[in-house]
Amino acid sequence: MAKDKLTTRKIVTRVLILTALTIAMVWALLPIVWMVLSSLKTEAGMFSMPPKFIFKPTFSTYAFMFDEGNFGQFLNNSLIAAGSSTVVALLLGTFGGYALARGNYRGKKHIAFWIISTRMTPIAAAIVPLYLIFANFHLIGSTFGLVVAYTTFNLPFALWMMMTFFAELPPDMEHAAMVDGATKFQAFYRIALPQVAPGLVATGILCLMFAWNDFAFASVFTGHDTQTIPVAASLLVSQTGIAWGQAMATGTVIILPMVIAGLAVRKYLVRGLSMGAVK
Amino acid sequence: MSTGKSLEAPAQQQPQPSGSPKAGGRFKRLLTTENLMLAPAITVLASITIFPFLYLIYASLMDFALAMDDPTFAGLRNWVRLFKDPAIAQSWKVTLIYAVVGLGLEVIIGVGVALLLYATPWGRNIFVTLWMLPIFVAPVVAGLLGWFMLNSSYGLYAWVLQLVGINTDIFGNVATALPAVILIDVWEWTPLITLIVLSGLQSLPSEPLEAAEVDGASYWQKLRYVILPLSARIIVVAMLIRSMDIMRFIDTIFITTAGGPADSTKIIGLRLFEVAFRFMDIGYAAAIGLSMLFVTILLGQAFVKVMYGR
């Protein structure tokens, strides 16, 4: 009897847990699903009440954006700006991160603090001086300025992440290589670097994501020709009339690659988003 | 919860074989492989962050309008104004409400979902994967989505709300605009709290839990006396990260309400934006920016302390 009762209780608990989780999933996913569905509807079909979940999808909104609008150009701008800052951050961050991990630098706590507060600087506060400096050098509206702006948060991030990845490697193999005559740089390049490759890729994807998802910097620093897709998305709803169909399609294009890339490195996601505090 | 260990490692590391440079002056001794590898990163980082930082301090001491030719020295006028301006106080108040209510909900729901995921009999991996998707959404798109869902004439959520008799322009109403933008933040970032806490739960030591079980503790007793105390540190880490992010981003509110109606959603970052690019008062904007930076630095200091565990 007693055993039966316990089992019933267990089943009830399981059902409750799964129900609660299902509700949470619906809350998390419904807006995303609704956005993707809406982007596949005709502008008239989007607003039918009650809302339709089953309908004949059309790619006409996407076709229109690429054929009639400058959407391809905006996509290109986003890729160049996010990509360049990622390459710069990874390159400098990997060398620097290795040096920080292996070198005997005093005051690591202070370096940590400087790097983290740089990474976490409020965007609004960073925009003001960067705007003045860019204005002096005629960089407002240029992709170069935007890349510099993105590097202000991606470089400290990459430096910090790569330091934590290198610091986790036992240095023995590098020492052995150096005893065998390799220079310190060769030990880094041939022994340490290949071992942190997954971490390097994850860091790169997160840098790409931070820059790709930015709106505030791009809205101030880009001009008509250099506008990124988040800015294009915002203009769709702030100009006369709201083109919700295009806005939803643009939103889908913005998040889809990041979902795929992000899930590919999900093992490192928490580590990246917590600045290495949680592994 | 393996935090900070790796950071301590380099200090305990054995001396390196080729670490001793040949005698040859101070300068040569500086040219170690490490220094040469670190120099480019530090140089670039310093020039794109320290220089703007100094420029910000300079600007905060000037009467500096975007339209004006030459800024003139203003002394501490911008700073005095910062502490007297009711608009600034209002914005800090909104920021505080946004942070406390938003973060409070995120921690409660986030920890709750983490505990559910930790206890779920099956499908943890799938649930975690689905639950984390909002994290990848660009904040500006999250704002667009929130607006789209709550739009009074055709939003899906607004339609549901109308069915239960709530019929208002959600982003245009002083009573509902702030709750709405807070909910967008909660939607996007609660999963991050869950992920952080879950990774803490998964690395909990098993002994205390087993001991509690042997003593016949109920689930709630285990939660209250073992699981939550052991997770406290990681929850604090998650909260500090989120607090710094709340100071950092303005995208979501910028796109939905732009701070309105009647400044009810004008967090401090948006106020700065308005002062700088609508009123063109760069000197004052710089002072606001430095005050924001000051708060972030305090949070960052707490974060580094918690991370190093001492």
Digit-coded pLDDT (tens) for A186-222: 999 999 999 999 999 999 999 999 999 999 999 999 9
Burial classification of residue A231, based on how many CB atoms lie within 10 Å of its CB (0-12 exposed, 13-18 middle, 19 or more buried): buried
Contacts of B108 in chain A (CB under 8 A): none
Q: Which pairing describes strands B72-73 and B62-63: parallel, antiparallel, or unpaired?
A: antiparallel
Which structure tokens are listed for B309?
A: 């565990």
Contacts of B42 in chain A (CB under 8 A): 96
Note whether residue A16 is domain-resident: yes
Note whether residue B10 is domain-resident: no
Query: Would you say A99 and B38 are in contact if contact means Cβ atoms under 8 Å apart?
Result: yes
Q: Which value, in Å, is the radius of gyration of the alpha carbons in chain A?
A: 24
Q: What is the pLDDT of residue A275?
A: 87
In this complex, which of B119, B127, B196 lies closest to A278 when CB atoms are compared? B196
Note whether residue B80 is domain-resident: no
Distance CA A95, CA A89 (A): 10
Domain count, chain A: 2
Q: What is the pLDDT of residue B180?
A: 94
Query: Would you say A236 and A246 are in contact if contact means Cβ atoms under 8 Å apart?
Result: yes
Q: For residue A161, what is the enclosing H or E element?
A: helix A143-168
Note whether residue A81 is domain-resident: yes
Note whether residue B81 is domain-resident: no
Whether residues A54 and A174 share a domain: the answer is no
Answer whether A101 touches B (CB < 8 Å): yes
**pLDDT bucket at B157, cuts 50 / 70 / 90:** confident
ipTM > 0.90 for the complex: yes
Nearest 5°: the CA angle B298, B304, B306 is: 100
The verdict on a CB contact (< 8 Å) between A20 and B116 is yes
Query: Would you say B170 and B177 are in contact if contact means Cβ atoms under 8 Å apart?
Result: yes
Domain count, chain B: 1
Whether residues A113 and A246 share a domain: the answer is yes
Sign of CA dihedral A48, A53, A58, A63: positive
Which structure tokens are listed for B151?
A: 């739009």
In terms of Cα–Cα distance, which of A154, A120, A114, A219 is closest to B247?
Answer: A120
The DSSP letter of residue B69 is S
In three-state secondary structure terms, A141 is strand
Distance CA A153, CA B48 (A): 10
Note whether residue B68 is domain-resident: no
Whether residues A84 and A200 share a domain: the answer is yes
**pLDDT bucket at B187, cuts 50 / 70 / 90:** very high
Task: Give residues with Cβ within 8 angstroms of B270, minimum separation 6.
Answer: A124, B91, B250, B253, B254, B258, B259
Peptide bond into A57 cis (omega under 30): no
Chain B residue with minimum CA distance to A20 = B116
Distance CA A277, CA A207 (A): 17
Neighbours of A125 (CB within 10 A): 28
Pairs of residues, one from chain A and one from chain B, whose beta carbons lie less than 8 Å apart: 321
Whether residues A15 and A115 share a domain: the answer is no
**pLDDT bucket at B8, cuts 50 / 70 / 90:** very low
Contacts of B244 in chain A (CB under 8 A): 120
In this complex, which of B55, B200, B269 lies closest to A124 when CB atoms are compared? B269
Note whether residue A88 is domain-resident: yes
Note whether residue B291 is domain-resident: yes
Whether residues A44 and A78 share a domain: the answer is no
Q: What is the pLDDT of residue B52?
A: 93
B287 phi and psi, to 5 degrees? -65, -40
Mean per-residue pLDDT of chain A? 90
| Residue B55 or A45, more confident | B55
Peptide bond into A50 cis (omega under 30): yes
**pLDDT bucket at B4, cuts 50 / 70 / 90:** very low
Instruction: Provide the residue range defining the domain that includes A211.
Output: 66-273
Could you tell me the CATH number of the domain that includes residue A147? 1.10.3720.10
The verdict on a CB contact (< 8 Å) between A112 and B304 is yes
Structure-derived torsion over alpha carbons of residues B300, B306, B308, B309, reported in degrees to the nearest 10? 170
Answer whether A83 touches B (CB < 8 Å): no
Note whether residue A245 is domain-resident: yes
Query: Would you say B283 and A139 are in contact if contact means Cβ atoms under 8 Å apart?
Result: no
In three-state secondary structure terms, A246 is helix
Which structure tokens are listed for A209?
A: 């994501």
Which structure tokens are listed for A151?
A: 């590097």
User: How do residues B105-145 score in pLDDT, each as one tens digit?
Assistant: 999 999 999 999 998 878 899 999 999 999 999 999 999 99
Q: Calculate what percentage of chain B has a pLDDT beyond 70.
A: 90
Instruction: Provide the residue range defining the domain that includes B134.
Output: 86-308
Distance CA B217, CA B213 (A): 5
Structure-token match 């000051």, residue found: B294
Query: Would you say B149 and A35 are in contact if contact means Cβ atoms under 8 Å apart?
Result: no
